[in-house]
């Protein structure tokens, strides 16, 4: 899977595990080592039982989702913690958060806590998946974790994920915007020529209903395109 697919898989696991805990209480908080990282989290009722703390919780999700690189840099072995995550992953400004990235908290090396980004609609205060005590995991605002770890440095640790594949020729055409792309698509010219006029498979990202202004511009363009230039 590529990066986008893995982040979607992580989001689904975060939502399901938090819902399972709320309904069944199947997660047990245990800050112990060694602690095995789970390999699967099947969608069963009742759900499987899981023992984890904050850092092994995010490692559980990553392993089940298929993230190839253990966030703790330990090949998903029985040891690893939030400091391991802080040391292994690259750091970025907090506003560059993406789903699945990990926040660590600590005075030196993220040694106190870790949680995972779930919903980044509000980048300044995303929703996070948190396994910090009994009765969790839960999904709540990052600001709650910042308040609970007052005075500590919050570090955004970026997951190491396989890159997304480059867009195809069709996807590039579908992503085009503006009057010029619409006119070229409608006429089957320029980059759209191999696909023919008004080919719906490569329709650019423009409104379904064109404004009168766009139609007028097209009419003027067609009227003038074969005329010579006047001084």
Q: Is residue 154 part of a domain?
A: yes
**0.85 surpassed by pTM:** no
Looking at the structure, do residues 213 and 108 belong to the same domain, yes or no? Answer: no
Task: Report pLDDT digits (tens) over 11-69.
Answer: 999 999 999 999 999 999 999 999 999 999 999 999 999 999 999 999 999 999 999 99
Looking at the structure, do residues 125 and 180 belong to the same domain, yes or no? Answer: no
Q: Is residue 231 part of a domain?
A: no
Give the domain extent around 209: 169-224
Q: Is residue 36 part of a domain?
A: yes
Which of 111, 130, 158 represents a domain boundary (last residue)? 158
Q: Given this model, what pLDDT does residue 1 score?
A: 86
Q: What are phi and psi of 182, to 5 degrees?
A: -65, -45
Which pairing describes strands 153-158 and 102-106: parallel, antiparallel, or unpaired?
antiparallel
Which of 158, 177, 201 represents a domain boundary (last residue)? 158
pLDDT < 50 stretches in the chain:
none
Q: Given this model, what pLDDT does residue 172 score?
A: 95
Q: Given this model, what pLDDT does residue 80 score?
A: 95
CA 227 to chain centre: 51
Structure tokens at 106: 């600590």
List Cα–Cα distances, 203 to 35, 179, 217, in angstroms.
52, 12, 19
Which of 137, 158, 179 represents a domain boundary (last residue)? 158
Q: Given this model, what pLDDT does residue 165 score?
A: 85
Please tell me the chain's helix, strand, coil percentages from 3-state DSSP, rounded to the nearest 5: 40, 15, 45
Looking at the structure, do residues 193 and 150 belong to the same domain, yes or no? Answer: no
Q: How many domains does the chain have?
A: 2
Q: Given this model, what pLDDT does residue 225 score?
A: 83
Q: Which residues are within 8 A (CB) of 27 and not within 5 positions of it... i.e. 6 or more apart?
A: 17, 20, 21, 49, 50, 51, 52, 57, 131, 136, 137
């Amino acid at each position: 899977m590529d990066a986008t697919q893995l982040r979607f898989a992580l989001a689904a696991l975060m939502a399901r595990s938090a819902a399972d805990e709320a309904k069944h209480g199947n997660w047990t908080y245990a800050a112990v080592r060694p602690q095995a990282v789970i390999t699967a989290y099947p969608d069963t009722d009742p759900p499987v039982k899981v023992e984890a703390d904050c850092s092994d919780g995010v490692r559980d999700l990553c392993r089940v989702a298929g993230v190839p690189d253990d966030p703790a840099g330990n090949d998903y072995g029985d040891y690893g913690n939030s400091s391991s995550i802080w040391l292994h992953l690259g750091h970025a400004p907090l506003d560059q958060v993406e789903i699945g990235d990990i926040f660590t908290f600590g005075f030196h090396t993220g040694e106190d806590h870790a949680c995972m980004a779930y919903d980044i609609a509000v980048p300044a205060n995303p929703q996070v998946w948190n396994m910090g005590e009994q009765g969790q995991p839960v999904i709540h605002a990052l600001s709650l974790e910042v308040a609970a770890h007052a005075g500590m440095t919050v570090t955004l640790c970026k997951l190491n994920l396989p890159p997304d594949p480059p867009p195809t020729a069709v996807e590039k055409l579908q992503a085009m915007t503006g009057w010029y792309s619409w006119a070229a698509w409608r006429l089957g010219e320029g980059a759209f020529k191999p696909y023919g006029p008004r080919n719906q498979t490569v329709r650019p990202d423009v409104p379904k209903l064109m404004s009168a202004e766009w139609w007028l511009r097209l009419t003027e363009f067609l009227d003038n395109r074969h005329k010579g230039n006047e001084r």
